[in-house]
Amino acid sequence: MTGIDRRAFMAGSGAAVLATGLAGRLAAAAPAGNKPPMQARVAPVVDDYYGTKVSDPYRWMENPKDPDWLPFLHSQSDHAHAVLDAIPGRATLAKRIAALSGDAAATRRVAPAGPWLFYEQRPAGADNFKLFVKGADGAVRTLIDPTTMKMGEAHVSLDWWEPSFDGTHIAYGLSPAGSEASVLHVMEVATGTILPERIPNLDYGITGWLPDGSGFYYLALVNPRGTPEFYLDSECRLHRLGTDPKDDRLVLKRGLYPEIPMEPVQVPAVYTSEGTDTLLVMVQDIRTEKAIWTTSVAALDSGKPAFARVADFDDLIVGTTRRGDDLYLLSNNGASRGRILLTSASKPDLAGAREIMPESASVIEDLTAARDGVYVTIMDGGVERLSRIAGTTVAPVALPFEGAVGAVFASTSRDGAYLLLTGWLQPSGIWQVSAAGKVSDTGITPRPPIDTSPYETRRGFATARDGVKIPYTLVYRKGMQATGANPTLATGYGAYQYSATPHFSPSLLPFLDAGGVYCNANVRGGGEYGRDWHKAGQKATKPNTWRDLIAVCEALIADRVTSPRHLAISGTSAGGITVGRALTERPDLFAAAIDNVGWTNPIRYVAEQNVADIDEWGPMTDAESFRILYAMDAYHAIKPGTAYPAVLCVTGATDPRVAPWHVAKFAARLQAATSSRNPVLLRVDFDAGHGVGSTRTQGDALAADMYAFVLWRTGAAGFQM
C-alpha cells in the first residue's frame, strides 16, 4: 500500500488504528505526568497535478479559521515545551546562553547622514534592537526604543529605517509580534518629534528620500494581508512630508508605463542617490538580476517621464551603485562570478560601458559608493574580503581577521566606509575604513567579555556524488578527538544565491562546551561560488542542495568526527527543503533533525502569502515543473512505516514568510508515519514570526531548546533522560 493510499485509507475505518499507534508514540516522548498532545485530524484532499494524483491529509491546517487549528498548535506546543524543559541540562544551558547573549551587544546597521551617524543596536543586556544617533560632538541619543512599546499584548520590533540625506528626518517601520507588518512613522531628528502621518503595509519600507528631503518614495502593498495576493501588484508611491498619505502620488505600477513591462509578482521601485536628481527605476523579483531604467525627479513628477534603459533582466545586472553621474553595474553576463562596469546614469549605455573590475576566481558580491571610491565585497567559498575602486585602480583592503563582511555602509559625501565584520570566533563589530585604506574598530559595538580562545575552526571539503567539492566549516572546542562519538549539528541553507558566511553567536558556545561540534555546509543553491553555484542547486538541480548536505555529513562520519547515532541536521526557512529532504531521503543517517520555520510543502505555494518567491523554485505550470517542485516537497516525501529520527519542528504564529502550516503539516505527518519511538515535537511561538523581529529572550529560549534537543538525541553526557 502506497503512502498516498494509506493516508486516504486512514480517513475511513482505519483512522482509529492510526490514532492508537500515534498516541502510543507521543506518550513515549512525554515526560512522566505529561499527557500526549492533540492528534491532527486526518481529512485527505486529493489533487490532480497534470495527471499525478497527490493526497494531502492535513490540508485543513491551511485554513487559520478551522476550529482545530489553534487548539492543535497550543496542545502540540505545550507538549513540546514540556518535553524540552524536562531535558536534563537544558536549564543550565539556557542560563549560560542568556548570560552570554546578555553580555554581547549587537549592531545591525549604521548610516552616515548629514552631521549624524545613525546606528541600530541591541545594547548589552537589552531585549531588542533600538535606534541611536551620534552627533558631530560625539553625544549619543536614543531615537527609537521598541522595548518601551506594546501593540496590544505583543512586543514591537523596529523593522527598517532610513534617514534623509541631510539627516533632518528619519522614516522607520514598526510592527507587532515579529509579523513584519510595518506601519511607517517619520521623526524629526533634532527634536525627536514624531510627525503625524502613518502609512500601513510598508513591509518593504521606503526606497529613497528625495534629494531635498521633502519626501520619499515607498512601496505600497495594496492587497489584503494574509492572502496569496498580498505581495502581488505592489505600487511605488511618493509621499511629501506634511501631507495626507491618502493623497500620495502613484509613480510606478504594473501597466502604468508601456515601456516598463512588469509581472504581478514583480516589485516596481524608484531609488534615489545623494547629490543628484537622477533616479534609478527598477523592476525586481526574487531573482538577483534586475531590469533598470533612469529618469529624473522632475520628469517622473511630470507624469510623462522619458525613461533611459540601462538593462533588461536578460542582461544579468545584479547590483548597482552611484557616485554623481557615474553608474557602476555588477554584471553576471558572461561572468558568473561577476565583473564591474561603468556607465553614465543620465545617459546609460550598457553596450559601451567600461569594464572597471574583471571577473576573477572569486565572486564579486556587492558594491557600495563613497566619496573616495567604490567598496567591493568579494566572496571566496564562504569567506568574504574587501577591495576599493579609486578611479580605475582596484586595491585590496586589509581586514583585521578572516570572516564575513556583513555589510558596507557609506555616503558619497564622506570618504571611507563603515563595515560590519564578524567571524566564527570573532564577535561582530562596526569597523571603519579610512581614505588611506586603514581599518579600525569604531567601538560602536563594545567587545563582549567573552573568551573565545578555548575554541577553534577547521575548514574542509566533502565530495558530492557528482564529484563537486563542497566546502564546510567545523567549529568546536579545542581538544576535540576523532572518536566518532561527538554530538554534531550540521546545517545547510542553499537558496537565493545567499551565501552562508561566518557569524559569531554567543549561544553556540555553551553547545560547544557540552561537547558539541557545529558544522556549516556551503551547499549548492547559495552564492559561495557565484551564479553557477546558485543555478546548480535551483529548480531541476535542487536535489544537489540536500545531497550536498548528506555528502558533508558522510565526510564527517568518514573522518570520525561523528556517527549517525551522534549526528543532527538543521535548516531554517528555505533550508527547510534542505533539512526536510535530507531527512526523508536518508533517515538512517541522523539521530535528530530541526526544521526551523522551514518551507517543507512547496507544491502548496499557491495557498500562502509569500507566493511572490516562487520563481526561485518554480512556478508549477506543467507536468515537468510539477515534478521538479514535488521532488523538493519534504512533506510529501514522508513514507509511512519508516523509522525516522527525532525531529524538532519550529514555527512562529505570525510568520509572513513561511506560513506556519508548512511546519505544522510536516510535524503531523511525521508523527503519524514514523515507526520509531523517537519524538516528533512541534514548538510554536505565538508572539513571533519568522524570527526577524524576535526579542533576545525569544532567541535565547529557542537556542536553548534546539541545542538541548540535539545534545539529548545525540547522546551527550548530562542531557539524557
Residues 578, 692, single domain; the answer is: yes
Residues 95, 158, single domain; the answer is: no
- Which domain range does residue 154 map to? 110-195
The answer to whether 235 and 222 are in contact (CB under 8 A) is yes
In a domain, 279, yes or no: no
Q: Which residues contact 134 (CB under 8 A, 6 or more apart)?
A: 116, 117, 118, 119, 140
Residues 87, 149, single domain; the answer is: no
Q: What is the pLDDT of residue 31?
A: 60
Q: What is the pLDDT of residue 578?
A: 98
Q: Considering 164, 195, 226, which residue would you say is the last residue of a domain? A: 195
CB-side neighbour CA atoms (13 Å) of 356: 26
Q: What is the pLDDT of residue 13?
A: 29
Residues 551, 631, single domain; the answer is: yes
Residues 634, 693, single domain; the answer is: yes
In a domain, 588, yes or no: yes
- pLDDT tens for 117-141 read 999 999 999 999 999 999 999 999 9
Omega prior to 619 cis, within 30 of 0: yes
Residues 90, 178, single domain; the answer is: no
Residues 79, 157, single domain; the answer is: no
Q: Which residues of the chain have pLDDT under 70?
A: 1-34
Cα 461 off chain centre by: 25
- The secondary structure of 609-659, three-state, reads CCHHHHHHCCCCCCHHHHHHHHHHCHHHHCCCCCCCCEEEEEEECCCCCCC
In a domain, 305, yes or no: no
Residues 636, 662, single domain; the answer is: yes
Number of structural domains found in the chain:
2
In a domain, 554, yes or no: yes
Residues 624, 523, single domain; the answer is: yes
Q: How far apart are CA 477 and CA 550, in angstroms?
A: 24
Q: What is the pLDDT of residue 613?
A: 81
Q: Which residues contact 698 (CB under 8 A, 6 or more apart)?
A: 685, 687, 688
Q: Which residue's C-alpha cell is 567604490?
A: 374
Using CA atoms, how far residue 41 sits from 62, 64, 67, 71, 635, in Å, is 13, 14, 11, 11, 16
In a domain, 678, yes or no: yes
Q: What is the pLDDT of residue 615?
A: 87
Helix (H, G, I), strand (E, B) or coil at 422: strand
Helix (H, G, I), strand (E, B) or coil at 400: coil
- pLDDT tens for 349-379 read 999 999 999 999 999 999 999 999 999 999 9
Helix (H, G, I), strand (E, B) or coil at 533: helix
In a domain, 9, yes or no: no
Q: Is the C-alpha dihedral spanning 473, 477, 482, 484 positive or negative?
A: negative
Residues 173, 90, single domain; the answer is: no
Q: What number of H helices and E strands is found in the chain?
A: 13, 38
In a domain, 658, yes or no: yes
Residues 655, 622, single domain; the answer is: yes
Read off the CATH number of the domain in which 528 is found: 3.40.50.1820
Q: What is the pLDDT of residue 392?
A: 85
Q: Which residues contact 101 (CB under 8 A, 6 or more apart)?
A: 506, 507, 696, 699, 700
Residues 698, 635, single domain; the answer is: yes
Q: Considering 195, 221, 248, which residue would you say is the last residue of a domain? A: 195
Helix (H, G, I), strand (E, B) or coil at 597: coil
In a domain, 630, yes or no: yes
Other C-beta atoms lying within 10 Å of the C-beta of residue 613: 20
Q: What is the pLDDT of residue 29?
A: 57
Which helix or strand (DSSP H or E) is residue 390 part of?
A: strand 383-390
Q: Considering 195, 211, 239, which residue would you say is the last residue of a domain? A: 195
